[in-house]
Amino acid sequence: MESIYSKYFLQYEGPAVEQEMEAGKLGNALIGLKDGITKICKTEKDLEKIEINVRVDRKGSFIVDCVVGVAIAAAGTLIADKLNEKLKSFTNQFRIKKFARGGEVKVIPKFGNRIELTNKDNEIISVSPEDYEIHNSKIIDKDISKVVEALEEEKITKLHTGIPDTEYIENVGIRDKRYFIPQETEELPELEDQKEVVLEGEIVSFGKRQKRIGFFYKDRLINCHPAPDRNLLDFIEFAKSPNIKLYGKVYRPDKAKFPVIYIEKIDYIQPPLV
């Protein structure tokens, strides 16, 4: 019996890479990497008996060795192609998650072997129907969440993952983390219903059609809208601005659900004088 080999990689960046990454999060990340690839590969009958091993390449960098036994040598090329397609598909799940930005994506049907997806900001990407089906099924959501969960402010700030020496490589930064990790609705207890608040954070999205502003606060993405007496265009200069101060009122009648904030005013935060 012959064996087909393919490689996949995961690399983290940040100050903690040269020091010491948190063992618990790193262990979970590598489990998620291995389990996610295994699940996707086993959706193909010829790859059901795949063996996957993860090894250290260098600090913060890991190689996944994928091995499939082939009983008939002539079938080797076909199976190698199938394995490569599944690894591409795994990489594309990170891409689609980033694109969705924590929301749902809608499908624009197209003829042929590609479809287009739109996100809440009306942007468009092209993917294969198979990649969309995996995303929509959520079968590896928990696995790729473990991979991204290792990111931490000022410690591990970015990851790269994909097939070595190809275009199939995806990057996920610390600001993308919120799109992969489910938000705990019981968090942010200070944001009580009808409370007037002043919050410091970052504007990360500005949707004119939905009149919605994405506000990044304490590692959480909060959907905001203009107050009844304000217009979205009043805040256009702050679109995707870091270091802002937001004034508004919280709408959260159900504590079990995530809050919405109606914005009265936004100001820039002045940097401290040196």
| pLDDT tens-place string over residues 2-49 | 788 999 999 999 988 877 777 788 899 999 999 999 999 998 988 988
pLDDT band at 112 (very low <50, low <70, confident <90, very high): low
pLDDT for 76 equals 77
Q: Which of 246, 236, 243 is nearest to 266 (CA)?
A: 246
pLDDT for 102 equals 84
The strand pair at 220-226 and 260-268 is best described as parallel
- Token reading at 56: 């250290």
Q: What average pLDDT does the segment 116-127 reach?
A: 90
Percent of the chain residues topping a pLDDT of 70: 93
Indicate if the pLDDT at residue 252 is higher than 60. yes
Indicate if the pLDDT at residue 141 is higher than 90. yes
pLDDT for 251 equals 95
Cβ-in-10-Å burial (0-12, 13-18, 19+) of 90 comes to buried
pLDDT band at 121 (very low <50, low <70, confident <90, very high): confident
Backbone angles phi, psi at 12, to 5 degrees: -105, 150
pLDDT for 256 equals 74
What distance in Å separates the CA atoms of residue 21 and residue 19, rounded to the nearest whole number?
7
- Token reading at 25: 């999060």
Of residues 19 and 246, more confidence is placed in 246
pLDDT band at 274 (very low <50, low <70, confident <90, very high): very low
- Domain range annotation of the chain: 2-102+128-179, 196-268
pLDDT for 198 equals 96
Highest mean pLDDT among 225-234, 252-261, 265-274: 225-234
pLDDT band at 74 (very low <50, low <70, confident <90, very high): low
Fold of 196-268: OB fold (Dihydrolipoamide Acetyltransferase, E2P) (2.40.50)
DSSP state of 242: S
Cβ-contact 161, 219 below 8 angstroms: no
Mean pLDDT computed over every residue of the chain: 87
What distance in Å separates the CA atoms of residue 68 and residue 256, rounded to the nearest whole number?
46
Q: Beta strands of the chain (E only): which ranges?
A: 2-13, 51-58, 61-70, 106-108, 115-118, 124-127, 158-162, 169-173, 196-207, 212-217, 220-226, 244-251, 260-268
147-184 pLDDT, tens per residue?
999 998 878 999 999 999 999 999 999 889 988 987 65
pTM: 0.70
Q: What average pLDDT does the segment 252-265 reach?
A: 89
